[in-house]
Every structure is written in C-alpha cells, then in structure tokens.
Chains A and B, each alone.
Chain A
C-alpha cells in the first residue's frame, strides 16, 4: 500500500487514489486527420514498462485532482510527483 504525496493535500494512503495509466499521452488535437493506425497508436498502445514509468494518478477520494507520478514498477518506488502541466523531471 503506497503512501502518496498528493501535490495538493500531502501524504495520503493509496486507497484514496486511483491509477490512471501512462502519462504524457496527449489527446490528438485533430483526430479526424489521423489514419486508423495513428489513432490506434494513441488509443491502445501503452508501454507498460518494468522499471521507471511516468503515470497519471487521481486523488479520487480526496481533492479529485489529477497529477503525475514517476514510479519504478519493479519495486514501486515513487521517484517524483508533479502537477498536471508541469514538466516531468529529467531522468
């Protein structure tokens, strides 16, 4: 059970949060211009890395805010947490 440092509320138990998958996948601005393959790339393809992964999390049972997390999926170490729109930390 992680202890997650919500950038708006501080440290809270994992059960207050919802994981939202890989981060920094921007919704295409002009979906109609995309080929089926390009759209499928956005829609379905996720890296699911074993190791350091950039993820979206939501403080669902708290402030309801979304934020980003850098987590090592092999040992669940949370390496960084930053707000939506902020630049990811350099690796």
Chain B
C-alpha cells in the first residue's frame, strides 16, 4: 500500500543509508537526512494526528519548527519518551519510534472525532461558559477536562540523559544561518569580531539552498549554487564558531540569550549513552544579528485543515531538499508569486500540477509566464470555498471572488487533488526581536509587523527585517552590517543580483465563502482548533483587547504559539472591529520560541547537585553515628541521633534528659559568625542592637537582639568582646548572610564615617557546644590548665585557650539553661575537637544531641527562635523582652518604630507560654487559639509557635503568640482541632529553672 514518493536524489539525503523506524506501531523506511515528516511523506503518510478540540484528522503542514499539527510522542513507553515533538524537527535514526497524540484508540479511528459533529456546541469560551455552574461541581468537571485534554504523555521514570550548561561571551551573535545570517557572520568574523552563528536546523543555508527560481541570479549563479560556495568558505574563517541544531529559545535584555544545542537526539540509542544530550547555551553578546527569516502564512478558508493541505513553501522544501513529493495531483492556492516557484519545482520533476488558484486579478512576473507556458491552469480572482476528504484531501471547490473580495460569485468548480499548497505571503519571524523588549510597527504595504525600535545593540536582517527579495536582502544587509559593525567595506559590495521583479500581493485575511460563516470551518489556529468564527464570536461578546481575545478563543496558545495563524487572527479582529492593525498591536511573544526540555533548563543541577548544601567539619561523625539530618538554610544539620531503632520522639526525649542530667554535646558550627573590628566597633554595635554595648568589658559576652527599621525582631545572638576594638558576633544559622548584608548596608550607606570592618568567619570556625552539669568536668579533662572556676570564668565570659598546640576560643554561654561552653576552633580541627569531647565525656555518658533537642531544651527555658516564634511582625515588647531594649540610647535601628501608634497597641500578639489541661496532649505548631467556641466566625486570638513534650518536666509545653496575651496569665483558652477542642491555660513562657540556678550548677 505504501508507495515510495522519492523523486530525485538530493544531496542532503543519503540514499545509501537506509533507516527503518516505526510510526504508530508500523515499520517504515527512510534515509539518513530525513526528518520524521519527510520520511512519512515519502511513504505517503499525511494523517499524523488529531486536532485538540474536534479531533479532526490532521496532516503534516510545514517543514519546520512552526508545525502546528504533526506533533508526536517520540519513543513512547521508554524512559527517553518525549511528548509534543514536531515531526518536522525529528531527524530519523535506526530504531526511532513515534506515535500520534490526542487520539484514542488510534489516529485512523478516533472516538473523539465525534466532537467534530458536535462542534456547534463547542464555541469560543465553551469551557468558561459551561463548567462554571454550579461552582461546587468544578472539581468533577476538572477531572474530566484534564483527562480528555492533554497532548502527549510525560515520561514516568527518571531521565537517563545528561544535560549541560555553557556560558558564551561573543562580540557578535548571528541567529539563523540562511543567506543573510551566513553573510553577516562571515563579514563579522572576517573583521575580527568573535562571532557565533547558530541555526536550529542540521544544515546551514536556510531556504536559499533549495531556491530554484531560474530567474533569480547571484553573480550569474542560481542562489542555491552561489550560497553553497559561501557556506564552503565559512569553514576556514577564524573567530567564527558555528552551531547547528541550536535553537535560540529566549532573547532577554542586554543581549542575553538562551539557546538549546541538540547533540544526540538524532543518534541511535546506543550512540546516545554517556553523551550530553542537550546543552543550554547562555550567551551574552555585544551585538546581536537576527536573521531568523520568515514563516509562510496559510490562507483562511473553509475546511483548510485537511491532511494533504500544506504550506506551499513546505511542498517546495520536501521536493527540492528531501526529494519527496507530497502528492500526485497537486493544486496551489495563493495570493503571491511564491506558489508558482513550488509549482515549477513539481513540474520540473514530472509531477502533475492540476491548477493554481490565485486570489489576485493577475500578475505578470517571469515565473508566472513560465507557468503559463508549461500549461498549468491558473484561476485568477478565485478562492477556494470548500475541500473534501476526511483522512486525506480528495478535492477542492473554487469560485470567483467579487471585485471587493468580500463575496464569491458564479458557479462552483470542483478540482480533484490529493495535495494543496497554500501560500498566503510571508510573516517575518520577529518573535525573538520582541522578546528583547524591542517594538514593532505595522507595515501597511507589506502587511507585516516589522522591527522598529531596538532596545539593545541588535539588527534584524533578511526577511525577518522585512526584506523578502534577494536584491533587497543583499543591499540592506550590506548597509546594516557597515553601520552596526562600523566597517567600510564588505564582501557584499561587489555582489551582482538579478531578480524576477514582480512582487504583487493581494491580502484578504478571511476569504469569503458561498456558505455563511456559521456553517464553515476556516481554521486560524490549527493546533487549538480556533476558527475565524470563534474570533468573531469573541468580538460580538464584547472582547476588544487582543490579549483577551487570544485567551478566550485560545488562539496562539498551543505549543506552536500561533506561529502560523496569529497574523490572520489579528487581521480578522482588525477588519471586524474596524481598526487598523497597527493600532491593535500584537499579542506578546513569550519565551521559549520553541519548547525546552526540563533537562536542558536544570542542566547538571539534578540529584545531589540540585541545590547547594553546606556540611560542618564534624559531619562525618554524625553520619557514622546514624544521625538524621535537617536542612537549615543551606546547612545539613544533625537533627537527632536515633539508637536501636528509636523513633524521633524517643531519641529526642532521651537526648533532652541526658543533656540536663549529665552532659550533652551539640554541633553548633553552623551559627553565623561575623568578625567586627575598628575603632568605632562599640558604637556600631550600639546602633545595630537594642541594648547597650559600650560598657561591655573585654572578655565578656552579651546577648543582643537586632531589629529591622520597622521595629520588628530580625535576628539575635551572642556577641563577645575580644579586644578594645574587636568583637565576634554570632547570628542565627539561617540569618547569617542577611545579617552581614544588612550591617554592610548601614555601614556603607548610612554611616560611612564609622571606622568598622566586617568579615564573615562562619566557615573558619567549628563549634562544639558542651552542656549539662558535667560539662565543666569534661572541659577540664580536655584543657587541664584552664581555670574553670566561676570567679575566673563566669557565665557570659570568654577565654582563649589551647588544646595541645591549637588555639581555641571558649565562650561560657548557654542556649539550654544548663552550665555550658561553646568551644570554637579552626575549622580543620573541628572533627578532632569533637572526638576529644566525646572521648573525655564517655565516663559522664556524654550524649550528642541534634537540633530538635536543642529546640526542646530552649523552649523549656522560654528562649525564642527568630523565625519560629517570630515572623517579622513581633517587636521585642511583643516578645516580653522589654529588658533588652535600652531606654537610654538615643537611637538604634528600629527604635523609633517601637513608639508608633501601631506598635504600642495593647492588643498586639504577644509571646506567652501555653499548658494543656491534659499534660500528655502535645499541641500542633501553627494551631489556632480561641477564647470562645460558640461564635461565628470564631475570633482567632493567635497561634502556637513552638510545642514539645518536655521529658524534664514530664508534661506538654508550648509557646504561642496571643492578642493581648501579656495580661492573660492563667486564662483558660481553647485550641480547636479537627476532632476535638483542646483546653489550654496561658502561662509564663519560662517553664524550667525560672531563677537560672542551673547556669552555675
């Protein structure tokens, strides 16, 4: 049944290299160099998919990335499967499998095809109108919509391929390697500009390499012959890097572009292994030359979507480039001369061209004369009013256009054919241009949007800049190159061009029909099944903005982003609403120009490289001792150390008891540490903390609270005075970078007169925190000659000491309320320090504890954690920490805000303790707190911020923020949960050792 439609040998097709592939389960053959589309067409397969809404049979329509219909699932059922791939872009290889999407059970017989006959019930905005009522049904509707929609299937197993990123800096980036791009790149590189030339195809040359109009000549050669010689010359040029199979996806400001380089998609499975599949190029170019070409437009007429109806330029490319003819009985339908070139291409290969339907009244170019000479019938002033053939075109019918082009007259002529080439003129591919933020203008004469105001150093050359004829292209390219590269002469100065001058065109956005619009199906957006009728309906319903019409009708919203039909949609809107195209503007073209795989976007940032993380010098010990880890900012912190299959709760209860009864040890290396030096260091601390620092003696430590200028608590930590002008500040683990940034900000911008220098030393020191009644004995064992008496080394003081020969800094400070020491040592000795502590602590059953136990212990003491008990809306007063706010200091960051009417409200949320009536019930963090259960709605008074079961108190404890909580001591409140209301009592937030007796125990 399949016949080979290969008509001639093509230099781009290697007929000695026969390749077999499967499409919808059936085996076909093609040759090396074929795309999936060209190979299918060579096997006379046009029907490749079903449309999205009506499930109409659809065929291959184009030969490039603008393809709306032939989107397929590649390698279905494998871990390399990929949906929504355009068959026109897939290069075939041995073993390739592909299947149609959006059809069930098969593309030949699709049950959804019934939608086509129900189409009167699927107007524009159908989903919006139908599935809105009743609102409570939405979940049910959504289930069905999601299941019937959807193009293709995503892979379900992890991606086996490697992806990569590369940064490229160049003087000139040329996008598109058609005739303009090649000449631009060649001249830029020859003039010593470091140049990168990229093209999405696997071969250079664009459409000119198969340009066959015998009346166009460059230096007396056909354009294709001439360009091939130019391509050959590119090879020897220094400064020029060429990347094929590379598609620019996005053009951002300041000439920053993202491109996807495809490296292995065209290779057989066995050749793909251990190679980079796709690479994201991040290109920063001094100058950008866009040579992205133009896309041929279809024409909008009744039933213009049947398999076999293709762009005229695609028919020419399949014939000239791939040596494939798309039909045996061909008709062309056009409004300009390009269809005649395609017709001649077929005629020259002995293929029948039945007729050319031209909506123009006449045209007298050389190519038309030639077409007439060879006897192809031309129907001037005619339009197609209908087509027939369900799975493949079998006829068209044409009628004469009225003089004004708004209606048809006379009798209908039917022409039998199996392929129709449609030529509606050319649309410059300005997508990347507009992504850069540059502005377009509408050219009334050419009926296209053209580059107008550039926002960066860029030019658009060739047909994307509005030059469609080779003589215009060369002339304007030459001038633009000289201007933008600031050079006096180019290769182009001496080129002689002869062309077939006629360039007439008649533009009718929506072609008339003998039937009323309501009874026709003129598709504007093939992929989303949006017709001219839908657009007009949207306008009747009151939509005016082009962006609204787009969303309501879904025109231009498919994976092809309306590359084919957008101009017609705009034209139809302009004509119907009676406005000019230029006033209407265009919809926004957003990146990516062609879809990117997720793999390309993430590159090598997968698995353990997904995000940066930091480990402490003691990490190996935690791992060996089976710690569970917690992410704190970028740090991996030991969370708890389960032994003998303990649950987290069991481990934390054990660790917490041990730390208070004998000794515990915590890896505190992650705390932020900022070294502060300079003659104004004390003054600086006075300004950034709420309490006073000038009188802190050398060798003493002090807790500080830092606010934002709005008076809200920002960070906290202990700062130690190491010398007259030298302090070391500790910050919260997560806040370290931001605190440093904030301090730098004030130093550089508000107080440049202060002599202060800040250095982050977080990574330079490892910190082991020894805690519990036996901590002193353990430290004594490690550093026998250090006097640990309360007189010499009291709470909140600092000593420098040596462990062996290694200097360390020891602070006697406590976050647990126990007698404890924080030992800081050069990071590279962190593990040794830890081992020494564990060894020395053995006889006291020293227990390593993680962050969870640390949180529990500090909650027993009512110590806050910034970010857990505060949320950016808590002042120190709200936290009942009035004691730390200096009344004497004239100013500090946030001071003035503490006296704003809002921050002084009595009913602000304030930090309190919360005890449950049943001591065994542990509240959920985040749970709401109320005083009345019979209100509607119930007033929320606040929420639980920290909650634990305290093993040392043998009851549940919690911290909470409650409106006016300060004055509610002893008050009974409720925490309403899903199944029950929990009775709670407001209490002092300090649950354990209120008098701080244990600090000196």
Contact = CB atoms under 8 A, between A and B. Distances in A.
A66 B745 contact: yes
B900 A39 contact: yes
B900 A32 contact: no
A43 B749 contact: no
A39 B896 CA distance: 8
Contacts of A30: 891
A32 B752 CA distance: 22
A28 to B, nearest CB: 8
Contact of B284 (A13, A58, A66): A13
A70 to B, nearest CB: 16
A34 interface: yes
Interface stretch (B250-258, B416-424, B808-816): B250-258
A51 to B, nearest CB: 15
B158 interface: no
Given A1-B252, A1-B254, A56 B749 contact: yes
B748 interface: yes
Contacts of A13: 256, 284
Interface in A1-42: 1-3, 13, 18, 20, 26-28, 30-32, 34, 36, 39-40
Contact of A43 (B252, B284, B710): B710
A39 B749 contact: no
A31 to B, nearest CB: 4
B901 interface: yes
Nearest to B896: A31
A18 B741 contact: yes
Given A2-B253, A65-B748, A32 B896 contact: yes
Interface string A64-82: 1110000000011100000
B896 A34 contact: yes
A13 B284 CA distance: 9
A27 to B, nearest CB: 5
Given A65-B748, A84-B752, A3 B900 contact: no
A58 B745 contact: yes
Centre residue among A2, A31, A85 by max chain B CB count within 10 A? A31
B717 interface: no
Given A18-B741, A58-B741, A85 B890 contact: no
B253 A76 contact: yes
A75 B437 contact: yes
Contacts, number: 58
Interface in B288-317: none
Interface string B869-903: 00000000000000000000011000111001100
B455 A77 contact: yes
Size class of the A contact interface (CB-based, 8 Å): 20 to 34
Given A13-B284, A32-B890, A40 B745 contact: no
Contacts of B752: 84-85
Contacts of A77: 455
A91 to B, nearest CB: 20
Contacts of B839: none
B371 to A, nearest CB: 48
Interface in B934-984: none
Given A66-B744, A66-B745, A27 B750 contact: yes
Given A13-B284, A20-B745, A84-B752, A31 B891 contact: yes
B709 interface: yes
B745 A39 contact: no
A39 B750 contact: no
Contacts of B455: 75, 77
A49 interface: no
Interface in B246-277: 252-256
Nearest to B746: A27
B824 to A, nearest CB: 24
Interface string B224-262: 000000000000000000000000000011111000000
Contacts of B895: 31-32
Contacts of A85: 752
A43 B749 CA distance: 16
Nearest to B438: A75
Contacts of A40: 900
Interface in B732-760: 741, 744-745, 748-750, 752
B519 to A, nearest CB: 47
Contacts of A76: 253-254, 437
A84 B749 contact: yes
B756 to A, nearest CB: 14
Contacts of A39: 896-897, 900
A69 to B, nearest CB: 13
A1 B896 contact: no
A36 B901 contact: yes
A74 to B, nearest CB: 9
A26 B748 CA distance: 12
B254 A32 contact: no
B905 to A, nearest CB: 13
A83 to B, nearest CB: 10
Contacts of B901: 36
B736 to A, nearest CB: 14
A68 to B, nearest CB: 9
A66 B897 CA distance: 25
A89 B896 CA distance: 32
Contact of A66 (B253, B255, B710, B749): B749
Nearest to A56: B749
A25 B284 CA distance: 34
A18 B738 CA distance: 11
A24 to B, nearest CB: 10
Contacts of A36: 900-901
12 contacts: A3-B255, A13-B284, A30-B891, A32-B891, A39-B900, A58-B745, A64-B741, A64-B744, A75-B437, A76-B253, A76-B254, A76-B437
Given A28-B896, A34-B896, A66-B748, 8 more contacts: A30-B891, A31-B896, A32-B896, A36-B900, A36-B901, A66-B744, A76-B437, A77-B455
Task: Report the 6 A-B pairs with minimum CB-CB distance, sorted nearest first.
Answer: A31-B896, A1-B256, A3-B254, A66-B748, A27-B750, A76-B253
